[in-house]
Amino acid sequence: MARIGIIGSEGAMGHALAHVIAATGHELSGGIDRGGCAEKLADASEALVDFSAPAALCTNLHAAIGAGVPMVIGTTGLEEKHHRAIDEAARVVPVLQTGNTSLGVTLLAHLVREAAARLGPDWDIEILEMHHRRKVDAPSGTALLLGEAAAKGRGIELADHSERGRDGHTGAREEGAIGFASLRGGTVAGEHSVILAGEDERITLAHSAEDRSIFARGAVRAAEWLIGKPAGRYTMDEVLGL
The CA-atom distances, in angstroms, between 124 and each of 42, 128, 139, 208 are 45, 13, 18, 22
Give 133: exposed, middle or buried? Use CB within 10 Å, 0-12, 13-18, 19+: exposed
Q: Is 152 a catalytic residue?
A: no
Say if CB 163 and CB 179 are below 8 A apart. Answer: yes
Residue 49 CA to residue 101 CA, distance in Å, equals 11
How is 106-136 classified by DSSP, letter by letter? HHHHHHHHHHHHHS-TTSEEEEEEEE-TT--
**DSSP class of residue 223?**
H
Q: Name which of 235, 225, 239, 233 is nearest 61 in CA terms.
A: 233
Angstrom CA distances, 107 to 74, 120, 126, stand at 17, 22, 18
Interatomic CA distance for residues 73 and 11, integer angstroms: 15
Catalytic residue among 15, 19, 110, 135: 135
Q: Which of 131, 161, 192, 207 is an active site residue?
A: 131
- Give the number of C-alpha atoms closer than 13 A to the C-alpha of residue 215, restricted to the C-beta side: 26
The residues carrying an active-site annotation are: 131, 135
